[in-house]
Amino acid sequence: MEASWLVSSFAWLAISVIIISNIIHYRRPKQNLPPGPKPWPIIGNLNLLVGSIPFRSLHLLSQKYGELMQLKFGSYPVLIVSSPEMAKQFLKTHDAVFASRPLLAAGKYTSYNYSNVAWAPYGPYWRQARKIYLTEIFSAKRLDSYEYIRTEESHNFLSRLYALSQVRVNGCGKPIVLREHLSRFSLSSITRIVLSNKYFSESKCDDQGSVITLDELQSLLHQWFVLNGTVMNIGDWIPWLSFLDLQGCVKQMKDLHKKMDRFNEYVLDDHKAKRDANGKDFVPKDMVDVLLQLSEDPNLDVKLTRDNVKALMQDLLTGGTDTSPTAVEWAFHEIMKNPHIIEKATEELDRVIGRERWVEENDFSKLPYIEAIMKETLRLHPLASLLAPRFAIEDCNVSGYDVSKGTIVLVNAWSIGRNPKYWDAPEQFLPERFLDKKIEILGQNFALLPFGSGRRSCPGYNLGLKIVRLTLANLLHGFNWKLPQNMKPEDVCLEEIFGLTTCPKVPLEMIIEPRLPQHLY
């Protein structure tokens, strides 16, 4: 009773504060922008503050109010960009003006004061860190050198699934929840690539508390995603209220940071000790080794501090953990709804790969239908439904509209991928549309923006795509997939949970049977 009273009082307090704040702060835009829903700025705010409603609402509002819609979140003007033409204006024509990020609490408290690439404001530090990513961390040579890790981890993952496929309940296969297994596979692959995997014990922390389990790390990264994906922190949008930390977001961020920093410190100390012990002969093995080596480089324009290295390491772990498995999970939601797609995909796999081996990375170019399934998945389910927020660093005229400095721009990749002007039958999952013509997905085609575009586009796309392709292809190659008996394809739920990455609301349960000879597992 008391708890529900508290919750409802709090909710009313929050709502009143937002309404009052809007009345105080909302001024008619001096710009000539299309205003968006007129009496709605307040409702727009509330939508964004209540969690899962906002995205669908934004999509519907965009459809009603057009390609460029102006909202107000607390004190900030916010533009929602929902057409390929307008996206091109912001992400290409005026990319430099909109290349910064808003300084939200999450970047400050969970990412070493905006030291990761994702939250860093546009400037010399971000430019240098981004260059390090492109030339050192994600270079083709470096990624190729980690291929053996992806292959080994993929094989371990498929073997685990094989073991589960043998479990019987009342003579039938036991359904598995694909999400759980994908997340674990992705985490163990990315941690091995970023920092080697010796920091994880199987079950519990060691006596010094310096080693954590993969489960614990997974839970920390999950919290990081939740707190960084939240647009619910009132203090971000109404700065004069931030000191109250009304919902306790900042407290949660600080608590999370403490735990992550303890782990990050341990990893750096250990890597540094190994490096010092080997002196000049030291050869970097993982991404943390590369970052540490660079932090000692006197020729860097901006010196990399210890906090910077920890922030970048964390950036790589967070960027790599939730993205690829969510894409594969969405692909399975769609193909289980459309089983004929599985038939076509396995026909291609049998013809090109045969049943005596697994798919390898150098097979990708020979599997156009698998590639088409992946692209169609990223069209209908871009992981960042709204691309990470851009922030105008100066006044700018965009296609005749005056956009003032300080405006936050959200590009609505979800609506753009379903724009009927660019896509036939946009709501249908039709991989074939990618077979007929070559459609680019890395940011040159503004009707399809799964990795964003321009200066702030995803630097990890190459690694992400390699993992998605390999996982999707081998899961289809290695197993027959069936829905549990009481479920039909049309029952597969495609609803989303909106966040930093947008994932399926209902995890899919499936029964699996091996397709390949036993010795391959």
Binding residues: 458
- Cα atoms in the 13 Å half-sphere on the side-chain side of 75: 12
Binding to ligand HEM by CB under 6 A, coded x per residue (else -) over 243-262, reads: --------------------
Round the CA-based radius of gyration of the chain to a whole number and report it: 24
Query: Letter for the amino acid at 498?
Result: F
Of 138 and 369, the one with the shorter C-beta distance to ligand HEM is 138
Q: Which residues contact 365 (CB under 8 A, 6 or more apart)?
A: none
Cβ-Cβ contacts under 8 Å for 150 (sequence gap 6 or more): 189, 193, 361, 466, 467, 470
Rule CB under 6 A: say whether 498 interacts with ligand HEM.
Answer: no
Question: What is the closest distance, in whole angstroms, from the C-beta atom of residue 189 to ligand HEM in the complex?
Answer: 10
Establish if 79 lies at the interface with ligand HEM (CB under 6 A): no
List residues forming the annotated binding site for heme: 458
Distance CA 87, CA 456 (A): 13
Options 100, 165, 228, 324; binder of ligand HEM; rule CB under 6 A: 324
Site string for ligand HEM, 375-394 (x = CB under 6 A): --------xx--xx------
Whole-Å CA distances, 515 to 143, 165, 169, 335, 518: 30, 11, 20, 17, 9
Task: Fill in the per-residue mask, 454 to 483: x = in contact with ligand HEM (CB under 6 A), - = not in contact.
Answer: --xxxxxx-xx---x---------------
Handedness of CA 134, 188, 326, 516 (dihedral sign): positive
| 139 lies in the site for ligand HEM, by CB under 6 A | no
Nearest approach in angstroms of CB 406 to ligand HEM is 18
Q: What minimum distance in Å lies between the beta carbon of 180 and ligand HEM?
A: 19
- 107 interacts with ligand HEM by CB under 6 A: no
Q: Which H, E and C letters describe 345-361, residue by residue? A: HHHHHHHHCCCCCCCCH
Alpha carbon distance 371, 495 (integer Å) = 24
Task: Return the closest-CA partner of residue 389 out of 90, 108, 19.
Answer: 90
234 binds ligand HEM (CB under 6 A): no
Give, for 191, the enclosing helix (H) or strand (E).
helix 178-195
48, 79, 87, 117: residue in contact with ligand HEM (rule CB under 6 A): 117
Give the separation between CA 426 and CA 440, rounded to whole angstroms.
17
Q: Does 327 bind ligand HEM (CB under 6 A)?
A: yes
- Closest CB 446 distance from ligand HEM, rounded Å: 11
Residue 133 CA to residue 421 CA, distance in Å, equals 36
Task: Choose, by CB under 6 A, the member of 58, 97, 118, 386 that binds ligand HEM.
Answer: 118
Query: Applying CB under 6 A, which of residues 58, 316, 483, 500 lies at the interface with ligand HEM?
Result: 316
Closest CB to ligand HEM belongs to which residue? 452
Binding site for ligand HEM (CB under 6 A): 117-118, 130, 315-316, 319-320, 323-324, 327, 383-384, 387-388, 450-453, 456-461, 463-464, 468
